[in-house]
Amino acid sequence: MLQRGFEEDGGALRAGDGGRPVPPPARDARPAPATAGRARARGSRSFWLKHLHQWHWVSAALCLVGMLLFAATGITLNHAADIGATPRVTTRTATLPSGLLEGLTAEPEGKRPLSAPLAAWVAREFGVDAAGRAAEWSGADIYLALPRPGGDGWISIDRETGEATHEVTSRGWIAILNDLHKGRDTGPAWRWFLDAFAAACLIFCLTGLVLLHLHAGGRPATWPVVGLGLVAPLVLALLFIH
């Protein structure tokens, strides 16, 4: 009998070997180098997209209200001369007790804070925390400047008569917001907030720039639009600012 010598494609049986099952040839389970490289690139891209989107939206959420405020006050500051405001001035007076007045006569001229008893009296009479604030001591009076966002204020105490005057000037909410924008007379806490807000804005912008880079391949207009945002203010500054 002729020996059959056929072999099935799957390699499961080989007749010439007596019909015993023969396993298929071993295949290399490792992907080709090009396929592995593409997989790593996709994994890296997914990693960065995930984390950049997270940083982008968190920084956007933190900056949202602040950016709206600064955008609005940027317009009002740019047109400050066109926005009228009527200052409102409030004046209050009081007279120092004789015990405090006697203590003032011996004080030399110069620039230094009010004494603790005098600062406590100012707080009771005018509701102003004067402790630690530097005042100008002259031969005639004591002058304490009280600058504030959107207005001004001061206290003057006559060293001879003890007559004290407290004046507050307010220019309205727009002036207050404009001064908050500039950080004018806002104190250290607001300045720290401005630094933190600026850092969050930088994170928002930089993560947005990297996201633009990652998505620019499918959006041909990306870099021309970004370039327009750079070139337009640069040209305006060079041509019209002298």
Residue 203 has pLDDT above 60, yes or no: yes
Average pLDDT, the chain: 86
Residue-wise burial string across 148-172, b where 16 or more C-beta atoms lie within 10 A, e elsewhere: bbbbbbebbbbbeebebebebebbb
Token couple for 46:
């997914």
The fraction of the chain above a pLDDT of 70, given in percent, is: 82
Query: How is the chain split into domains, by residue range?
Result: 42-85+173-211, 88-171
pLDDT digits (tens, 9 = 90+) for 3-30: 444 444 444 444 445 556 656 655 555 5
Q: Which of 2-16, 34-48, 56-70, 228-242 has the lowest mean pLDDT?
A: 2-16
- Interatomic CA distance for residues 50 and 116, integer angstroms: 58
For 60-80, write each residue's pLDDT tens digit: 999 999 999 999 999 999 998
Across-strand partners of 154?
145, 167
| Size of the chain, expressed as the number of residues it contains | 242
